[in-house]
Amino acid sequence: MRPALINLDDPEAATLVELVRAAGDLRRESAGGHHAGSSSFSLDGLTFEVRTPRATLHIRSALVGRPNVHNILAAVSTAIRARPVL
């Protein structure tokens, strides 16, 4: 079975969780203690902090919009779990 990553803040998250549950193995994990801190948004991109149990990462991205904070946070959380470097 392939892994699925679902943003539980998404309005459709409950539907997606049920689809994954129906397909088989469902493991629920949080962001692993990683969360977004102070942030700023503009048409030039976004900047924010990712606070982890070990460090605070300062993120600057050309992506725009609050949903991309969630996307980047998910990517950072996944990468840190796969290879804990912080």
19-30 tens-digit pLDDT: 877 776 665 555
Output the pTM of the full model: 0.57
pLDDT for the residue numbered 83 = 57
Listed as ranges, residues in the chain with pLDDT below 70 are: 1-5, 24-35, 80-86
Helix (H) or strand (E) holding 1: none
As given in the structure block, the two tokens for residue 84 are: 């804990």
Q: Which of 21, 20, 37 is nearest to 72 (CA)?
A: 37
Residue-level pLDDT at 62: 94
What's the confidence (pLDDT) of residue 37?
A: 75
Specify burial of residue 73 (Cβ count, 10 A radius: 0-12, 13-18, 19+).
buried
Q: Would you kindly state where each structural domain of the chain is located, as residue ranges?
A: 1-29, 31-82
